């Protein structure tokens, strides 16, 4: 009987596949996969609960490679354990339309849980996974039925810990006592610029212990130590765990291990020959022994794990049929069968009720109405719940030892948003997060990542313009709406009253493959009269709110608080015989998705006299009014003063709209 294959040889399979793929692509990062190979071998072969034949199995453990530049590590693991990632896929590393892009990307490769690359956001996503698991378990598990029961593991490097987001999310993870969250820190002391001792000398152990984490230190190349540490981490159920693994970057490369030279560049043909000799690796590139594949293959083990869970779920379904059906609905991302009907009734009731209201208050009214219909709505605010008005009637904060349905994120805009990405990715929840529109800037890259991954996340941004008043230009957004509107996949809503606010919420909830940004005012906004067709057309992103009273000569386009100005200008112009219409455009992106005939009906091409008005940067609107049209808005930062004075100061007034239209007709 042949001797069992050594763990080191199994880890070396990761090393050689990684440096071979990087070399073939002539691009990539071989150092991290080579340095973390021993850690990966222990976690993936001994502990990770997953099924390569069904990468979306609900109760799988989640694995996140936060140091995503080392993507060949996870591609090698997926290939070796039996996912649909072939040798040819590895050979196509970093090539167009391959399953193995330069950083792990959701949707390209089976087994990838989240898109990583911008350092630190992967661990934030992992915190989101862990929050979702803990909260879903509290809502659905019953005595004798642990249906939601999995761990979240993440690999991270020095760069992840240097990024400020790591403080935001790891601090919160400790406060919430996320005991099923386990991080493996690749402590190799090297980043792109060289030895990190010149710029990163934090006491990482003390830092995480201060957060409330369990911290364990190991030799990252000693499989026994890694195994024992992982067992210890799993045994600790009241604290997240950080396993600090002292490693050598590029381990196995005679001349480049331990050096920045192995971080972000191929080893080179000559060094690969030497590395193969040092590892006693006799095979040609991308060739492995059958015994290596047999030792790595996780399909049989994963099949047993999933079938055991299936049997447990069948017992759960018999004991709690309604809970089981509800859990599956939520995990599958489906909305309740009656939701659309109930939502449309609510929108119509809002229109009939009328009344002037700040759109942030209208947003809270929508949440209070929709949350009982959708228990999967999991909200939170970055320490501004009283200003964002994100708390709903039965909101209960998630705490370390208590169930809840609302997250008090604290002043952590970036961390909050990246955590919400992880919650959405986990399944079972539709997360919404909130802050002032100005402070979207702190969260900007996480907003982009959610859009890149096409996740259903709802960003609530209040205090949307100079209309917030006395706080001044530090708090008054100007360019942020343009930034959001030009983000692919993201839908940005700026409603003008309670009806549009309700519609925006409903459409955001229904947008399964798009995140949404809902932009709300601090100040009260006037209710607008609409017929049933106009109410229905809100969902088209732009529609005729006020029709011309004589032959059409000019069009005013407005959003949010400026729709009220546009309507006042409409009354003046119409009384003076000008044929003008008002187009409310709460979501320009959705309007541009409509068919050409609808867009032409709203904005006839032959009407060149167009004026757009919005208390935001003017440049965005020239795509709708043309270079010959006029835009009334902001070209500078704001000032500290009451809102009414500021609108006059910056020329965003009814008179300005009237004058602009008259100058064009």
Give just the sign of the alpha carbon dihedral 307, 308, 309, 315.
positive
Phi first, then psi: give them for residue 283, nearest 5 degrees: -85, 155
Summarize the chain as % helix, strand, coil (round to 5): 50, 15, 40
Q: How far apart are CA 486 and CA 495, in angstroms?
A: 18
Q: How far apart are CA 46 and CA 642, in angstroms?
A: 63
Q: Of the listed 163, 376, 413, 614, which one is catalytic?
A: 413
Q: Which residues contact 335 (CB under 8 A, 6 or more apart)?
A: 374, 509, 510
Helix (H) or strand (E) holding 238: none
**C-beta separation of 181 from 400 below 8 A:** no
Residue 29 annotated as lining a ligand binding site: yes
Q: Of 496, 626, 630, nearest to 565 (Cα)?
A: 496
Beta strand residue intervals within 51-91, DSSP E: 62-65
Residue 103 annotated as lining a ligand binding site: no
Tokens read off for 560: 């949010």
Q: Where are the alpha helices (DSSP H) in 354-412?
A: 359-370, 385-388
Residue 117 annotated as lining a ligand binding site: yes
Q: How far apart are CA 510 and CA 456, in angstroms?
A: 9
Residue 651 annotated as lining a ligand binding site: no
By DSSP bridging, strand 430-436 and strand 458-462 are parallel
Residue 74 annotated as lining a ligand binding site: no
Helix (H) or strand (E) holding 155: strand 152-157
Tokens read off for 379: 């909200």
Question: Taking the CA atoms of the chain, what radius of gyration do you get in angstroms?
Answer: 28
Q: How far apart are CA 477 and CA 563, in angstroms?
A: 18
**C-beta separation of 390 from 98 below 8 A:** no
Query: Does 562 participate in catalysis according to the annotation?
Result: no
Residue 360 annotated as lining a ligand binding site: yes
Q: How far apart are CA 416 and CA 355, in angstroms?
A: 33
Q: Of 380, 354, 331, nearest to 58 (Cα)?
A: 331
Residue 159 annotated as lining a ligand binding site: yes
Q: How far apart are CA 333 and CA 319, in angstroms?
A: 23
Q: What is the 3-state secondary structure (H, E, C) of 63-74?
A: EEECCHHHHHHH
Residue 383 annotated as lining a ligand binding site: no
Q: How far apart are CA 452 and CA 461, in angstroms?
A: 20
Q: How many alpha carbons lie under 13 Å from residue 363 in its C-beta half-sphere? A: 35
Give just the sign of the alpha carbon dihedral 296, 302, 303, 305.
positive
First to last CA, the chain: 93
Q: What is the largest CA-CA distance in the chain?
A: 99
Tokens read off for 550: 């004589």
Residue 8 annotated as lining a ligand binding site: no
Residue 463 annotated as lining a ligand binding site: yes
**C-beta separation of 158 from 187 below 8 A:** yes
Binding residues: 29, 69, 117-119, 158-159, 188, 190, 263, 360, 387, 439, 463, 471, 475, 522
Binding residues for substrate: 29, 263, 360, 387, 463, 471, 475, 522
Would you name the residues annotated as active-site residues? 413
Binding residues for thiamine diphosphate: 69, 117-119, 159, 188, 263, 439
Binding residues for Mg(2+): 158, 188, 190
């Amino acid at each position: 009987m042949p001797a069992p294959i050594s763990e080191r040889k199994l880890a070396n399979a990761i090393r050689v596949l990684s440096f071979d793929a990087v070399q073939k692509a002539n691009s990539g990062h071989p150092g991290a996969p080579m340095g973390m190979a021993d850690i990966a071998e222990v976690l993936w072969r001994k502990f990770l609960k997953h099924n390569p034949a069904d990468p979306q199995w609900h109760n799988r453990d989640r694995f996140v490679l936060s140091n995503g530049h080392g993507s060949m590590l996870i591609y090698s693991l997926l290939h070796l354990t039996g996912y649909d990632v072939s040798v040819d896929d590895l050979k196509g590393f970093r090539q167009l339309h391959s399953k193995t892009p330069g950083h792990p990307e959701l949707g390209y490769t089976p087994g990838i849980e989240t898109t990583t690359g911008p350092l630190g956001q992967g661990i934030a996503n992992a915190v989101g996974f862990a929050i979702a698991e803990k909260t879903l378990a509290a809502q659905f598990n019953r005595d004798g039925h642990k249906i939601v029961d999995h761990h979240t593991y993440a690999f991270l490097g020095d760069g992840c810990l240097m990024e400020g987001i790591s403080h935001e999310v790891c601090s919160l993870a400790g406060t919430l006592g996320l005991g099923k969250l386990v991080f493996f820190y690749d402590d190799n002391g090297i980043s792109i610029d060289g030895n990190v001792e010149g710029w990163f000398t934090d006491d990482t152990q003390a830092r995480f212990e201060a957060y409330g984490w369990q911290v364990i230190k190991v030799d990252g190349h000693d499989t026994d130590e890694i195994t024992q540490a992982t067992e210890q981490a799993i045994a600790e159920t009241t604290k997240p765990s950080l396993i600090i693994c002292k490693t050598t970057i590029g381990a196995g490369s005679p001349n480049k291990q331990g050096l920045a030279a192995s971080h972000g560049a191929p080893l080179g043909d000559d060094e690969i020959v030497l590395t193969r000799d040092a590892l006693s690796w006799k095979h040609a590139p991308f060739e492995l022994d059958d015994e290596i594949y047999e030792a790595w293959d996780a399909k049989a083990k994963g099949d047993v794990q999933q079938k055991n869970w299936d049997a447990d779920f069948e017992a759960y379904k018999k004991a709690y049929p309604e809970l089981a059906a509800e859990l599956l609905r939520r995990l599958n991302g489906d909305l309740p069968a009656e939701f659309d009907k109930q939502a449309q009734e609510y929108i119509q009731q809002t229109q009939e009720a009328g009344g002037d209201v700040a759109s942030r208050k209208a947003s809270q009214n929508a949440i209070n109405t929709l949350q009982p219909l959708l228990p999967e709505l999991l909200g939170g605010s970055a320490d501004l719940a009283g200003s964002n008005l994100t708390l709903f009637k039965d909101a209960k904060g998630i705490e370390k030892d208590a169930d809840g349905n609302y997250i008090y994120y604290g002043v952590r805009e970036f961390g909050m948003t990246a955590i919400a990405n992880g919650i959405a990715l986990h399944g079972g929840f539709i997360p919404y997060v909130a802050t002032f529109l100005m402070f979207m800037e702190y969260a900007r890259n996480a907003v982009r990542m959610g859009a890149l991954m096409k996740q259903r996340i709802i960003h609530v941004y209040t205090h949307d313009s100079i209309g917030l008043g006395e706080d001044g230009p530090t708090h008054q957004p100007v360019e942020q709406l343009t930034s959001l509107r030009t983000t692919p996949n993201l839908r940005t809503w700026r409603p003008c009253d309670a009806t549009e606010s309700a519609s925006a919420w409903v459409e955001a909830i229904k947008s399964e493959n798009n995140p949404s940004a809902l932009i709300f005012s601090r100040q009260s906004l006037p209710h607008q009269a609409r017929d049933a067709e106009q109410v229905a057309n809100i969902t088209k992103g732009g529609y005729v709110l006020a029709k011309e009273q004589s032959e059409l000569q000019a069009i005013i386009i407005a959003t949010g608080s400026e729709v009220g100005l546009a309507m006042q200008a409409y009354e003046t112009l119409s009384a003076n015989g000008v044929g003008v219409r008002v187009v409310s455009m709460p979501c320009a992106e959705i309007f541009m998705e409509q068919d050409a005939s609808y867009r032409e009906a709203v904005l006839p091409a032959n009407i060149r006299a167009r004026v757009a008005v919005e208390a935001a940067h003017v440049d965005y609107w020239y795509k709708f009014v043309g270079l010959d049209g006029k835009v009334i808005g902001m070209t500078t930062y704001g000032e500290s003063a009451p809102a009414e004075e500021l609108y006059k100061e910056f020329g965003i007034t009814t008179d300005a709209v009237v004058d602009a239209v008259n100058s064009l007709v």
